[in-house]
Structure 1
Amino acid sequence: NIVPVDFVVDALDYISHKVSQGQGCYHLVDPQGYRVGDVLDIFSKAAHAPKMNLFINAALMGFIPKSVKKGLMALAPVRRIRNAVMKDLGLPEDLFTFINYPTRFDCRDTEAALKGSGIACPDLNDYAWRLWDYWERHLDPDLFIDRSLKGATGGKVVLVTGGSSGIGLAAAIKFAEAGAITLICARDEAKLNEAVAEIKDKAGKQAQIHAFACDIADEAGCASLIEWCTTNFGGVDFLINNAGRSIRRAIESSYDRFHDFERT
């Protein structure tokens, strides 16, 4: 049951002030019921999205014993899939209560009370596009995403390999200025210290910049770098593999080059 708030307010006001009307119960509902699939189709049309090609009658779920349904929903894989889908769609878990909602409302008394008033529940097909248009213009979460470098990396851990000079250093400066927790690594510790000083000079003393000296072409060096990142920063959100090497050889030619082989 979906009704616009304007209809609810107008109907409530009219019936409440109708002098000749005695006591009674009036359901302010849409006289035309919609299945979940119908509603999805209507809003898909409003959003210029593909229509549903296949519907499953939710009433069929009623034939499954409750104990069986509860047992299935208690399974960890099923629960994880359900939670992931609901989270992606931004829907509350309570929605499942209404998929096969058994209650039916009778609005014949309401229609009789509103007769001649000009107040009636509009067809969902006639105003669904307005709801979608308003949501798309004002409520869509994507509208409020900060797509700047600061919005994407601020407060995040960014690791720049080869960050002591050149492109790596320039990138590290940008990340530090954007408020990222910037990690740089290179082989020369002296150059790393100079790079840290330069980054703080350009990004400000408050910049969070950390350096680690290692050779990423050495497997033991990589292991120590990973351990350092994990222990001190809980991992890495973004990796700028500036010191990484392009793979221009077949796997069988990379067995002695672990950094190529593992990246492959």
Structure 2
Amino acid sequence: MKLALLASDSHVARAAGDALRTQYDFVPVRDADVVVALGGDGFLLHCLHEAMQLKDPKPMFGMNRGTVGFMMNDFRAKDLVARVASAKTFVLHPLQMTATTASGRSVSYPAINEVSLLRETRQAAKIGIAIDGKTRMEELICDGVLVSTPAGSTAYNLSANGPILPLEADLLALTPISPFRPRRWRGALLPAASQIEFEVREARKRPVSAVADQMEVRDVAHVRIAMDRSISLELMFDPEYALDDRISLEQFAS
């Protein structure tokens, strides 16, 4: 098995990378079977976005040299090749966001965790919601709203009181951010095949930005979101502590 190595810019990740290079022979990413990523969740997300630019994205085996490392395996230098060979693989499909601005410009970005719409000023956003071409909510008055994948459901979605989705669930979470009207609406669970559209009311008076993971488009008027099953990203985890277990445990965390 041929492994490539990527490390974040942190001192801890660089030191870990230097230590691994003394024990293993790594190859360039283009020649690798698996990419080992050293860093935190943000760095792994960056690596996955970079992988989407390749015709054949490589599986990722992350090891935590960051802070939380929710999507990372524990860092151990010993038996790395054997660990990768026995790892459990999960396949992720990103969301595709197409945003049209108030000036008519159209921009598309992928999102592995979530797409979020956020008010840009002190004024609340007014957003209409349609699912598969049918209007489901004429007007949500809020600070924002987001659509999360199962892999991203424990991130911003959970902070906004959205549901935790098991990784194998073929669902998306539609979660409001500080809803004002309807005040008691807590969001919805949608089939992963759904096409979700947001129409920003009074877009110039109440400007809204759309963010796909870390890519922001400001002053949007319309946003369309759908899962892109043409792109498959593979994450690899030690079998004794896999991502689906971590997501399940989060449902019982206080």
Instruction: Provide the TM-score with structure 1 as the length reference.
Output: 0.22
More helix as a share of residues: 1
* CA radius of gyration, larger in: 1
